[in-house]
Amino acid sequence: MILGIGTDLANIDRIQKTIDRFGQRFKDRVFTPIEQNKAEKRKDIAGTYAKRWAAKEACSKALGTGLAMGISWKDMSVSNLETGQPIMKLTGWAAKKMSDMTPEGYEAIVHVTLTDDHPWAQAFVVIEALPIS
């Protein structure tokens, strides 16, 4: 069953301007070390950060809260499987919120997809509950 759906569109140029203005302080406030490591190795650094920004926004919407109610940017972290497929790990308040919305006897799975076409980065998140076998 679907527990939540969220999407977000981020402007890559806006993220670049924020990085230019606030630098590491912005990166450390919003992105985990894994996310920063991935972005800093990419040719399109700002585009990589923008996709992860959009994923966090989309996930917060799928959780039904937006970025409110105590959720931290770093409670949602995007990494990649060896195949390149993005995955999202929830910790802290975000993990608690997902647990609270998951019916007994089910486990929640977060699906995330990312795309960009300059100047836009987009993410789509679906939180699914599957029966525990």
Instruction: Give the CATH number for residue 92.
Output: 3.90.470.20
The enclosing H or E element of 131 equals: strand 120-131
* % of the chain beyond a pLDDT of 90: 93
Assigned token pair, 55: 């994923």
Assigned token pair, 22: 């606030």
Prediction pTM value: 0.94
Residue 127, SS3 per DSSP: strand
Residue 7 structural domain: 2-131
The count of domains in the chain is: 1
pLDDT of 20-62, one tens digit each?
Answer: 999 999 999 999 999 999 999 999 999 999 999 999 999 999 9
